Structure 1
Amino acid sequence: MLLSVVIFVERSQYRKPINTPLLYKDVRSVSILKKRTSADGFLPEKEFIALFALMMSLTALSMDSMLPAFPNIAESLAIVDYQKTQWIVSAMVFGMMFGEIIFGPLSDAIGRKKCILIGIGIYIAGSVIALSASSIEVFLLGRVIQGLGVSGPKIASRALVRDLYKGAAMARIMSFVMMVFILVPLLAPSIGQLVMQVADWRWIFALLVFQASVAGGWLLLRQPETLTKENRIPLNRKRLIADVRIILSRRDVMALTVLLGCIFGGLMLHISTAQSIFQDVYQTGDRFPLYFALLAIGSSVISFSNGKIVQRVGMLRCVIAALSVLLATSLVLLLSAFYFDGVPPFVLFMGLGMIMFSCFGMVFGNVNAMAMEPLGKMAGLGTSVISSLSSFIAIVFSTFIGQFYHFTVTPLASGFVIFSIMALVMLRYGYRYSQRYVEE
């Protein structure tokens, strides 16, 4: 359905030639291939991909592997109000919000390797606090520290790839990493449930500590630093503040940041309520990870094929199509929720859900790219600012709407409708201001 809408938009009036500003253009430049080999002192490509994927998968595993453990965590920590279990996800994203704004400039100042190792150390400390917690307050503190720490490998690893690879080589590396991003959200709940079948929920955190330790040790022993001292940018408070002000003054970039926050907020709302919707509302029992994975398949497939689609119809048209389909399917889900007293038939819920999450896969990558294009040399800091602000917006929106959840699909559907409308408004707003910058 989403692909049909993309093709329709391509053939519609948007196909007419327009003076599209840089923010919404598709830059199809051909970069010089720069491939590193083990003879140069760098890791062999296959080993590098494996290490990079191991580090980058920490974020998804830290959130999605928790989902089957929500009831056990609530019982162990004496959480009476179900809404508080949603903080298990929100607390980590809250930590990431601060970590992303810190580790971006830090990786440019001290190097990628040190930045990743510092982040992994903080992440392990947060995991240990969470697994040993006896109260919800201490547990959430551990989750915040986890989020702060995981931002190190998340931000610095991307910069590390940019240091080593350009053009076709970088595209090849990122395609393999994208396969990991596809598999991890699909498998993470099953991994968490498998641990729960043989041990306590605390062992999920022990597994995360083990993964982070292996990744950190592997990086320490095998991967050389990629940012030479002469290319490092010392931390300068005045310059950082000035650059952040420039980024914040770009209304087109900020509009797309709000758009990302809305879509990320919808994803957080889904993750926070998924366990209860599947197991409490629809009584799926141990099949919850399977159905969760089915919803994620659409997003994963679209994310993986997004590059080819964008080359044909362009980023703007892809985002318009995805948000339009997301709004339409969200409205259908909301109306069906009203009609069926908050619990639509499971087959209808799954069908609409797969379409909606296909839209998520198309929006995230394209809007991130659109937001980064106008920032030029400030792209590194821009990534940190955009990620941090969109995380903050997502936390506020998803936490607020999540408080209305009471074992029906209605709040989830309502949230998706609201987020879709806001995203379309922000897309239009950003496009209008992008044209003004070009005219100036």
Structure 2
Amino acid sequence: MSRPFLVMFTGLLLALNAFSCDITLPAFWSMEKSLGAPIEHVQAVIPVFLFCSAIGQLVFGPASDAYGRKPVILTGVALYITGALIAAAADTLTVALYGRALQGFGSACGAVIARALLRDVHSGPELARTMAFASSVIALGPIIAPLVGYGLVVIGEWRGVFVGMAIYGAGLATMTLMRLQETNKSPDRGAIAPVRLANAIGRVFANRQSRYFVLLSGINSFAILSYVTNAPRLYKSAFGIEGLAFTALFAATGAGIIAGQYINARLISRLGVMAATRSSALVLAATAITIALLSHLGVISLLMFAALMLIYNAAFLVVMSNAVSLVIDPHREIAGVASSTIGFVSQLASSLLVFATLPLFHGRLLPWSLGMVVVTVIVAAAIMAYRPRTEH
């Protein structure tokens, strides 16, 4: 199995959640009209998906340690496809959300096993660099997914979006069957025993570095999930932008993720993982403060906001990618559990925070940007305060 294939395949797995969220954004207004549901309820298709994905990560990570990576990927993808088809056939938002929940649970196999695959074959700075390159595939999600979603809405309204996700899942299953080699050479069937699982999770939290960045990832993930969930309403309420114009601008800001991942790889090579993470956390907080200040003064324009969000996306991905590698690096023998733990905490915390803050923001730019200032300043301060044991 070649390294280019491994990077591409793990990148597609890592992108599964982001793709499955971003592709639905152009469908919000179509779902509102077709299903007769308030837009605030339609927005729940994103946090419901991620909440169930968080729970699934506690299952798929240990299962991949016990039975191998390949069979668990295939199981998860099968659930993902089934959930997408249920949502596509739904005649009420409730049924669509049930399908979305199953889809989210199945999608958990993506990120958790992608991280474990990389940890099976890499460690240390090489793990961080490979994670950065694999994560660069994620960048295609925010760029391509909204455009694909808009095209599918034009062709088949909102139902076409869910059919498109089922096709994505079928492609992953085909690649797994035909190209992926098993990287878990010593499956441990006892890994899924409740006591063993609890002990393994305890080992992750017992490690100072892993514990610190697991908890931090939950706060940091909210910084981007809140933007994605609120984006259609933010652009419409603040700038009067919707439809294709919104889709194109949202996709354009996703280019920051591509830039961020390549910058991250260079920063890691020159400065190390922690220095790259610290500098990016400061940029993330500074960008959020700038957006809030310009919004408060009433001088922020559409292009200014899009440019700042491009920087915001780049900084977020650098921080998150490195946080993941810092969590799982000390745990090669339980890479699946370590990956599950960070996925569970980050997605559970961020999805619950999004649910809690939707009524507060109401799709308005200033309240949303002030919320992001609070979150990003906390993240930056925590990262700046952290000192690895080897630093003096």
- After TM superposition, the score normalised by the length of structure 2 is 0.88
Instruction: Give CA-to-partner distance per residue, 1:154-187, whole Å, 9 cap, x none.
Output: 3224434555678999899767644422222211
Using the TM superposition, name which of 325-334 and 92-101 deviates more: 325-334
Partner of residue 421, structure 1: 377
- The structure-2 alpha-carbon separation of the partners of 1:379 and 1:227, relative to structure 1 and needing over 3 Å to count, comes to closer
- Is the contact made by 2:257 and 2:313 (CA closer than 8 Å) also made in structure 1? yes
Partner of residue 63, structure 2: 106
The code of the aligned residue for 2:319 comes to V
Question: 2:308 aligned with 1:352, yes or no?
Answer: yes
1:230-309 matched pairs, under 5 angstroms: 230-234=186-190, 235-250=192-207, 252-285=209-242, 286-309=244-267
Partner of residue 74, structure 2: 117
Instruction: Give CA-to-partner distance per residue, 1:82-106, whole Å, 9 cap, x none.
Output: 3223211101110110111111110
Secondary structure, aligned partner of 2:157: coil
- The structure-2 alpha-carbon separation of the partners of 1:58 and 1:396, relative to structure 1 and needing over 3 Å to count, comes to closer
Partner of residue 382, structure 1: 338
Instruction: Give CA-to-partner distance per residue, 1:96-133, whole Å, 9 cap, x none.
Output: 10111111110011111110111011111211221122
CA distance in 2, matches of 1:243, 1:51: 27
Question: 2:269 aligned with 1:318, yes or no?
Answer: no
- Is the contact made by 1:115 and 1:153 (CA closer than 8 Å) also made in structure 2? no
Instruction: Give CA-to-partner distance per residue, 1:38-68, whole Å, 9 cap, x none.
Output: xxxxxx6666666555544432221111000
The code of the aligned residue for 1:67 comes to L
Partner of residue 360, structure 2: 404
CA distance in 1, matches of 2:124, 2:359: 45
- The answer for unaligned runs of 5 or more in structure 2 is none
- Is the contact made by 1:107 and 1:156 (CA closer than 8 Å) also made in structure 2? yes
The code of the aligned residue for 1:63 comes to C
Structure 2 counterpart of 1:203, from 155, 160, 163: 160
- Is the contact made by 1:89 and 1:272 (CA closer than 8 Å) also made in structure 2? yes
Using the TM superposition, name which of 311-320 and 96-105 deviates more: 311-320
CA distance in 1, matches of 2:319, 2:132: 18
- Is the contact made by 2:69 and 2:182 (CA closer than 8 Å) also made in structure 1? yes
CA distance in 2, matches of 1:139, 1:366: 34
- Please state how far the C-alpha of 1:317 moved relative to its aligned partner: 2.4
- The answer for unaligned runs of 5 or more in structure 1 is 1-35, 37-43
Secondary structure, aligned partner of 1:227: coil
- The structure-2 alpha-carbon separation of the partners of 1:59 and 1:426, relative to structure 1 and needing over 3 Å to count, comes to same
CA distance in 2, matches of 1:173, 1:310: 11
CA distance in 2, matches of 1:248, 1:301: 32
What's the Cα RMSD here? Answer: 2.9
CA distance in 2, matches of 1:329, 1:178: 22
- Please state how far the C-alpha of 1:347 moved relative to its aligned partner: 2.8
Instruction: Give CA-to-partner distance per residue, 1:391-429, whole Å, 9 cap, x none.
Output: 111112222222212342012211211111221343256
Secondary structure, aligned partner of 1:199: helix
Structure 2 counterpart of 1:394, from 329, 350, 372: 350
- Is the contact made by 2:57 and 2:112 (CA closer than 8 Å) also made in structure 1? yes
Partner of residue 26, structure 1: none
- Is the contact made by 1:65 and 1:192 (CA closer than 8 Å) also made in structure 2? yes
- Is the contact made by 1:253 and 1:430 (CA closer than 8 Å) also made in structure 2? no
Structure 2 counterpart of 1:60, from 18, 36, 44: 18
Structure 1 counterpart of 2:109, from 152, 163, 166: 152
- The structure-2 alpha-carbon separation of the partners of 1:203 and 1:136, relative to structure 1 and needing over 3 Å to count, comes to same
The code of the aligned residue for 2:29 comes to P
Using the TM superposition, name which of 354-363 and 410-419 deviates more: 354-363
Question: 2:30 aligned with 1:72, yes or no?
Answer: yes
Q: Name the count of aligned residue pairs.
A: 390
The code of the aligned residue for 1:421 comes to V
Partner of residue 362, structure 1: 318
- The structure-2 alpha-carbon separation of the partners of 1:226 and 1:207, relative to structure 1 and needing over 3 Å to count, comes to same
Partner of residue 145, structure 2: 188
Larger C-alpha radius of gyration, 1 or 2? 1
Using the TM superposition, name which of 82-91 and 265-274 deviates more: 82-91
The code of the aligned residue for 2:253 comes to L
Using the TM superposition, name which of 115-124 and 405-414 deviates more: 405-414
- The structure-2 alpha-carbon separation of the partners of 1:167 and 1:289, relative to structure 1 and needing over 3 Å to count, comes to same
The code of the aligned residue for 1:213 comes to A
Partner of residue 44, structure 2: 87
Question: 2:92 aligned with 1:139, yes or no?
Answer: no
Instruction: Give CA-to-partner distance per residue, 1:297-341, whole Å, 9 cap, x none.
Output: 22320212211112222222222222222222222221222222x
Instruction: Give CA-to-partner distance per residue, 1:160-217, whole Å, 9 cap, x none.
Output: 4555678999899767644422222211100000111122211111111122123213
The percentage of aligned residue pairs carrying the same residue is 25
